[in-house]
Structure 1
């Protein structure tokens, strides 16, 4: 029974770190978009903003899963590594977004608020997912 309780607490700790990292990811996407992200997605039903946010959250999730898997049953190292790799991933995702924005015509942030789906958002979403996968591969 003690093992079950310990495992549940460890799971809870990793979940808290993962959710906090996704919250930071949400805030970063919100900063990159003109207007309020929650209104764009939940009120205006903007698919561009929803796709970018979903890809960011999935990228963070990929990193968190890889960091947990690489922790090799060392809880302290695992939880610190998960937080550190998650923050690194978010920084790299933000840098990749800014680089893509600098190298392409128009402003990605402005494209995100357009009511019609835009192909550039798909490209940006794949950058988020690829970044998460690259970091996950580097962890393992």
Structure 2
């Protein structure tokens, strides 16, 4: 039982580190400080993007842990790290590509006040790309 709890703690810590990394990558892609937009601004778009990124990355991590748990703790933890980083990179690429096809600046829309349809679409794209990564794991 203690071993399983230790594995759970290790996966959770790795997941937390990857979620933080994903947040900072999104912060780099948007103007200003994303954390301030979430806590002091009225940017539902930013909340949607961060939430979608977290849900998508969480789905990737859960899928990779589920599918690789039988390979042993060390290799499974390595696969979790690898696919987690891949998920963060692909979420960023997806955001940048969508920004190219969006009139104006998607990165500015994402941190703007209120709610914007492009913010909803960008959040949906984050989840969609994450689900594609999940499917590639299975």
Q: TM-score, normalised by structure 1?
A: 0.94
Query: Are positions 1:85 and 2:83 aligned together?
Result: yes
Structure 2: state its 5+ residue gaps: none
Aligned 8 A contact 2:34 2:111 in 1: no
Other-structure match for 1:13: 10
Q: Corresponding residue for 1:111?
A: 109
Aligned to 2:61: 64
* Whole-Å separation in 1 of the counterparts to 2:29 and 2:116: 16
Segments of 5+ residues of structure 1 without an aligned counterpart are: none
Whole-Å separation in 2 of the counterparts to 1:130 and 1:78: 24
- Residue 112 of structure 1: how far off its partner (Å): 1.6
Distance 1:12 1:109 in 2: 35
How much has 1:96 moved relative to structure 2? 0.7
| Structure 1 position 24, deviation (Å) | 0.5
User: How far 1:45 moved relative to its partner?
Assistant: 3.1
Q: What is the number of residues matched between the two proteins?
A: 137
- For 1:100-131, what per-residue CA distance to the aligned partner results, in whole angstroms no more than 9, with x for missing partners? 10112111111122212100011111111011
Equivalent position of 2:25 in the other structure: 28
Secondary structure of the residue aligned to 1:99 is helix
Q: Partner of 1:43 in structure 2? A: 40
Q: Distance in 2 between matches of 1:32 and 1:134?
A: 22
The root-mean-square deviation of aligned C-alpha atoms, in Å, is 0.9
Q: TM-score w.r.t. structure 2 length?
A: 0.96
